[in-house]
Every structure is written in C-alpha cells, then in structure tokens.
Structure 1
Amino acid sequence: MHSTRAGPAEDTVPGLPAGPVVLAWLTQFLVGTDLFVVAPLLPHIAASFAVSAADTGLLVTAFSIAYVVASPFAGWVSDRWDRATVLVVALVLFSAANVGTALAPGFGVLLVARVVAGIAAAATGPTVYALVSTRARPRARAQVLAVVGSGLLTALWVGAPAGSLLGRYVGWQAAFVILAAGTFLLAFPHAFVWRARPVPAAASPSGASQRAGRPGRGVAVSAVAVTTLWAFSVYSLYTFLAVALHSDGRATAVTWLLVVYGIGAVVGGQVGGRFADRADAVRVTRSALALTAVLEAVVALVFPVTWALACALGLFALAAYAFFPAQQRHLVDTFPERATAMLSWNNSALFVGLSLAGAAGGQIVRALDYPALLYLGAAVAVPACLVARGRPARTGR
C-alpha cells in the first residue's frame, strides 16, 4: 500500500512527501503570523485611526470570537464538501480580508475586516490539519501534524516580531499586504496538491477505533474539554510573562526568554508527535499534562532567578506543546468521519481556554501576583490529565 505513494521526498518528512507538508507548514505560518502580529501593531493602528489602545484591542477580540464561533461550522462544511475546495476558498477569503485590513478607510471597516479574517482562519487551520493527517501514513500521523503545527509556533516567535519590525519602519499596512499576497499565492498549489492525492485505505483509524463505531457526543465533548483546560494552563503562563518581567525590572530579558520558550515549544511538538506515533496517543497527552502541571509550579518557584526561569520555561514549553499533536492524532483516530469538525472544535476549545486565561489571569495577577496565577494554571492541568485518562476505555468499547 505504501509503495504506491513512496517517493524520494517521502524520506524528508515521515509519512507524507515533503511538498504537501511544506505547503501546509507555510499556510500555518502565514495564518499564525496574521493572528500574532496584530498585538504588537496595535499602537501603530491606534495612531492611524486616532483611537485609544483599549479600542484597538477589539480587533483581537473580534478575530478570536469570529474564529471560535465559525470554526465548528467550517469543520462541518469541510467534512461534507471537498476539503481542498474549502481550503482554497478560505485562503482567498483570508487574503481579501487582509487587503481590507490594509486599505480600511476607518476603524469600523477595519473591525469588519478582522471578523472576516477570523472566519477564514477558522476554515483554514483545521482543514489543513485534516488534509495532512488523513493522507499521512498512520504510523507517522502525529509526526506530520507536529511538523505542520510548528509553522504556527514559528509564527509566534519569528513571524510576529518580523511583522512588528516591518510595521515600525515601513507601516503596519505593509505587513497585511504581504500576508494577503502570500496566502493568495498559496491557494493555487493547494487547489492541485490535495486533489492529486486521494486518501489511502491505510489512513483509516486503528482496529480499536473501527470496532468502536461512532463515539457519542459526550466522548467528543470530554475530548475537546481537555484542550480548553490545557490552553488555560499554558496561556495563563505565556500571556502575562512579559508583563510580569517588566514589573519585576527585567524587561531586557523578555525577548530572549520568549525565544527560549518558542524553541522549547517547537521541539516539544516534534517530540510529542513522535511519541504519539510510537505509543498510545492518549498516554502521551496524559503524560504531557502531568509534566505541564509540575513544570508550571517549578516556573512559579524559580521566577525570581532569571537563569533558572529560562531553564524552567524551556522545559515547560517542551512538555506543554508535546500535548497538542498527540491530542490531534487522538481526535482524528477516534472520529475519522468527522476529522475536520473535531479538529475545528479542538481549535475553538483552544481559543476558549486562551480567552479565559487572558480574562481571569489579569485579575489574578492584579490581586495577587504572577506566581499565584502559575500555581492556578498548574492546578487546572491536573483535572485535564484525569479527564484524558478516561477516554480510551470509553472509545474502545
């Protein structure tokens, strides 16, 4: 079965030829850059439209809400229509939304453009993940997901800072024009690559999943609820790290500590993907959640000491981001007929957890301190580990 799909490029990325994986990685990188670059550009946008910094924060909120609301519907559509077509339409819409962002004559139009961008991104990310996961060899599925997902993580510490520098020296509109051009150009190869590669029979779920039939709604809800708890735990630490360091008089350490965190996250994703392909995916998610809880508490303990904080942050990111490709593999294996829909719900769950971390975290840091927020994040990872532990038994019967 595999011999019909093999080729020289397949040695580059296990489970799938390098071309589609690179294309998927670039897509995630550009969409991720668009997501992360808005925050550092907010001061420039505020100056352009003569609005307050608080008002420009609505741009991030509008994008996030649009993403959370649209993602499940986009996944449902993608599972019922041709995924390649859905992806191409989403990329063209995403490109148009970024053109609208760059050319917006007023703040109201800009806000609408970000809503459209959020809707398009909701259809892009999960569809890309579903396409690569269902076409990868089953034994390398999580590895391929991890490689593609690293595009999003790379956007966090490479794409967003680059866009911020571009906005500072050329103008914030230039960043969105480049993103619009990039995503529009990517739509063309996506229109052909996936149509030429039908889903192989070997990409079907494991025998245990086949015997399980279609898991119920309760199993699906508990599966994605784990992602919400994980996201709260991880992003309560990340969101307020720079603020806490500034308040502590260590502003000069922010950049290189974030680089350490970003590198740890990329490595963690690769490690998690490899282990998920060699062992039970749920066992990997459970182990990652347990280590996340322990290491987040360690970060809280060593926070006053910068060198120890750097070591703890790198290890925390490695453990925390090992969870995500394993979780994605578990969802695709358990819900093969609803793969895109489940990955869409999973991404929505991530945004819900991220939003809750931002809303609750600010209040906790203000009332107590940053380490107290980290202890809470570590505590939240514990029930996530317990919920993840019960899923194999329920889905395997």
Structure 2
Amino acid sequence: MHAARAESAEDTVPGLSAGPVALAWLTQFLVGTDLFVVAPLLPRIAASFGVSTAASGLLVTAFSIAYVVASPFAGWLSDRRDRATVLVVALVLFSAANAGTALAPGFGLLLVARVVAGVAAAGTGPTVYALVSTRARPGARAQVLAVVGSGLLTALWVGAPAGSLLGRYVGWRSAFVILAAGTFLLALPHAFVWRARPVPAAAAAPDAPRGAGRPGTGAAVSAVAVTALWAFSVYSLYTFLAVALHADGRATAVTWLLVVYGIGAVVGGQVGGRFADRSDAVRVTRSALALTAVLEAVVALVFPVTWALACALGLFALAAYAFFPAQQRHLVDLFPERATAMLSWNNSALFVGLSLAGAVGGQIVHALDYPALLYAGAAVAVPACLVARGRPRRSRERP
C-alpha cells in the first residue's frame, strides 16, 4: 500500500523542465569558472599590483575561508526565507564582487572583493542545488543534481582555461568583467523561474521508511565528514598532478590529461546520479569511495607511463565524482526540512578537504614524492567508506 501510494505520488509530481535545469547549470558554470580561474591568473594579478606570487595566493585563501565560514549561515537563511530571493541577492552580490575585482585599484581592495565573492558564492551553489532537488521528481533527484553539478565540473576544464586565455590576450580584468555581467544577467530569470510553481510536497519531503528515526546533529556531522574525507582523497591527486608532470618532464601532457580527467568527472557524476535514483544513495557513495581508493592507488602505480596514467585518471575521475550527486541526494532525503543548510555544510566540508589536500599534500610531495601522496589519498578514502551510512533506525518499531 505504501509503495503504491509513493509511486502514485511520484507520478503526479511535475518535476523540472529543461529551462530551469539549464539555468541552474549555467549558474554553476559561471560560479565555478570564477572559483577556478583565479589560480592560473595569479602571476598576471601579482605583476599588476607589484606583489609576489605567494602573496597573490591569499586571494584564493580569502575566497575559500569566506566561503567555508559563510556557507552554513547562507544555508540556514535560505531554509528560513524564500530560496529564490536568497539566490537572486547572492547573484547580484557576486556580480558586484567580480566588478570590484576587475576595478580594484589596489591589492587590499582586491582582497576585500574576493572575500565578498566567497560570501556570495556560499549563497549561490547550495541554494541552486536545493531549488532543483526539491522541485525534481523523487525518482530523478540525483540525476538532476548531477546534471546541474556538471556545470561546476565543466568550469574546471573549459571555463578556467578559457578565462586564462582571455587574461593572456586582453588582460585578467576582462575575465572578471565578463563574469560580473554574466551572473548579473542570470539574476533576473532566477527571480521568476522558481516562483512559477510551488514546491511539490512529494518532492520536497520524501517519505521516511517506517520505523526510521529523525536524524540528529551527530548524523549530520558524520554525513558531511564523509565529504571532507572524499575531497581530501580526490583533490590531493588533482591539485598536484600538473606539478608532478612538469617535474617529470611531461609538461606537454598536462592539458590533454586534465581534459581526460574532466570528461571522466562529468560522466561519473551522471552515472552516480542515475544509480543513486535507481538504488540506495548510500550504497552508491560507499561503492564510489571504495573504487576511489583502489583507483587512486592504481594511478600511483602507473604514474610513470603516460598512456596508462590517462586510462587510470579517466577511471578514477569517473568513480570519484559518482560520489557527489549520490551524497547530495542522501543529504536532501535525510534532512528534507533543512536541505539547503545541509548542502551548505556539505560544500563547506568539500572546501575543508580541498584546503587540507593542498596544505598537507604539498608537504608530502616535498618530503617524499607524488605517488606517496596518492597512496595517502587512497588511505583516507577507506575510513570515508566506513563512515558513510544510511538513515538511523529506532531500536523498536512503533505499532
């Protein structure tokens, strides 16, 4: 009876059309491009303001810290206010921050602009994910999240290189002018698209299994800790890949290997989303983490052989990025009443893991070598697989 009722409810949920999904994808692409484009532009920015490249790295750090700190508050606010309004305000603020980045007369004001951009980005990504996940049909929630999330992944290997080329030929400031204009133009359609239809009840609050207990703070912390461990494992490999290839005399292979990685990541996200909707989301996250650990060790083993490295990188990215949409679906299903807050904490955990990968990974590579870092990343994915778990259950089911 319950299954039949759930199936009937899902059939009546209208879901999302291609327009809102495309709009959400484009938003993630532009925000992701802003996030990833700063690193390749740092030498030009440093030269413009007469600061060292190391000092210019504070721009990335300032953005990341602002994002991690502001994201939980932005999620809390979004769950208590109209999500569309929060998203529009965040996009306008993000546009203003990018305009400030482009027009900054000094390095101090540039640093302030990047802090504001980090705060604004904290209000865009999780809110977009929450809007699409709560309006998607329950049986397609993870697939929609994967499609929207692929905008961020596409920015990694398309948007950032394009911005870097733009900075080389017409100046780094022009890249941020374009990003400012793009995000400002997106704010208007977002203001109307998400008000066109109320959130379907069946999509916003999926039924919990009979006997399921309400997850508390411990379950929330455990859930997002898995993301931090996953991020450390994945980005320890990615962050130092180009550096290791340059040191090994294979600089010419960097670009196409990153393209292989990026394509694998996009495909992995789609596969993970599809399986999470057709199976148990936690089972998908645990399988992805287990494969991530194994394949990261394989990448370490075949690193000296370029063609084998390309194959291993593609498979690694496919397995690793299958985790993220499944994890997002798991969080929305587990905490439907505070979906944006949980997705915000999840994104903060991602940045924490990414930052630790950069800090700790650099020390490991310096003291040992790049393959040693990959073995460490693989080892971190193992406890993440063990910590990942589903909905807690009551010890006794009420009659």
* TM, length-normalised to structure 1: 0.95
1:196 Cα deviation (Å)?
Answer: 1.0
Report the 3-state secondary structure (helix = DSSP H, G, I; strand = E; otherwise coil) of the residue aligned with 2:266. Answer: helix
| Superposed counterparts of 1:160-179, under 5 Å | 160-179=160-179
Match of 1:340 in 2: 340
Deviations 1:164-203 (A, max 9, x none): 0000000100000000000000000000000112110220
Distance 2:284 2:205 in 1: 18
Report the 3-state secondary structure (helix = DSSP H, G, I; strand = E; otherwise coil) of the residue aligned with 2:121. Answer: helix
| Superposed counterparts of 1:266-345, under 5 Å | 266-345=266-345
Contact 2:32 2:151 in 1 (8 A): yes
1:215 Cα deviation (Å)?
Answer: 1.1
Match of 1:136 in 2: 136
Match of 1:37 in 2: 37
> Against the structure 1 CA distance between its residues 211 and 23, is the aligned structure 2 distance closer, same or farther, given a 3 Å change threshold?
farther
5+ residue gaps, structure 1: 7-14
Contact 1:219 1:395 in 2 (8 A): no
Q: CA RMSD in A?
A: 1.4
- Asked whether 1:355 is paired with 2:341, we answer no
Equivalent AA in structure 2 for residue 381 of structure 1: A
Match of 2:370 in 1: 370
Contact 1:209 1:334 in 2 (8 A): no
Deviations 1:348-368 (A, max 9, x none): 000000000000000000000
Match of 1:97 in 2: 97
| Superposed counterparts of 1:172-321, under 5 Å | 172-208=172-208, 212=212, 214-321=214-321
1:209 Cα deviation (Å)?
Answer: 5.2
1:146 Cα deviation (Å)?
Answer: 0.1
1:3 Cα deviation (Å)?
Answer: 6.9
Equivalent AA in structure 2 for residue 20 of structure 1: P
Distance 1:115 1:210 in 2: 45
Distance 2:205 2:377 in 1: 33
Distance 2:348 2:117 in 1: 15
Deviations 1:129-156 (A, max 9, x none): 0000000000000000000000000000
Contact 1:92 1:184 in 2 (8 A): yes
- Asked whether 1:392 is paired with 2:391, we answer yes
Distance 2:394 2:325 in 1: 19
Contact 1:272 1:325 in 2 (8 A): yes
- Asked whether 1:63 is paired with 2:63, we answer yes
1:208 Cα deviation (Å)?
Answer: 2.7
The range that moved more, 229-238 or 200-209, is 200-209
Deviations 1:343-397 (A, max 9, x none): 0000000000000000000000000000000000000000000000x33345898
Contact 1:66 1:115 in 2 (8 A): yes
Report the 3-state secondary structure (helix = DSSP H, G, I; strand = E; otherwise coil) of the residue aligned with 1:391. Answer: coil
Contact 1:157 1:259 in 2 (8 A): yes
Contact 1:215 1:395 in 2 (8 A): no
Report the 3-state secondary structure (helix = DSSP H, G, I; strand = E; otherwise coil) of the residue aligned with 1:285. Answer: helix
Distance 1:322 1:376 in 2: 21
1:207 Cα deviation (Å)?
Answer: 3.0
Match of 2:75 in 1: 75
Contact 2:214 2:392 in 1 (8 A): no
1:5 Cα deviation (Å)?
Answer: 6.1
1:54 Cα deviation (Å)?
Answer: 0.5
Distance 2:53 2:10 in 1: 54
Overall identity of the aligned pairs, in %: 88
Distance 2:317 2:55 in 1: 32
Distance 1:364 1:149 in 2: 30
Distance 2:208 2:281 in 1: 13
Equivalent AA in structure 1 for residue 181 of structure 2: A
Deviations 1:45-103 (A, max 9, x none): 01110110001000000000000000000000000000000000000000000000000
- State the aligned residue count: 388
Contact 2:211 2:393 in 1 (8 A): no
Contact 1:75 1:344 in 2 (8 A): yes
Report the 3-state secondary structure (helix = DSSP H, G, I; strand = E; otherwise coil) of the residue aligned with 1:392. Answer: coil
1:204 Cα deviation (Å)?
Answer: 3.8
Contact 2:10 2:139 in 1 (8 A): no
Distance 1:395 1:306 in 2: 52
Equivalent AA in structure 2 for residue 55 of structure 1: A
5+ residue gaps, structure 2: 1-8
* TM, length-normalised to structure 2: 0.95
Distance 1:395 1:23 in 2: 41
Equivalent AA in structure 2 for residue 85 of structure 1: T
Equivalent AA in structure 1 for residue 235 of structure 2: Y
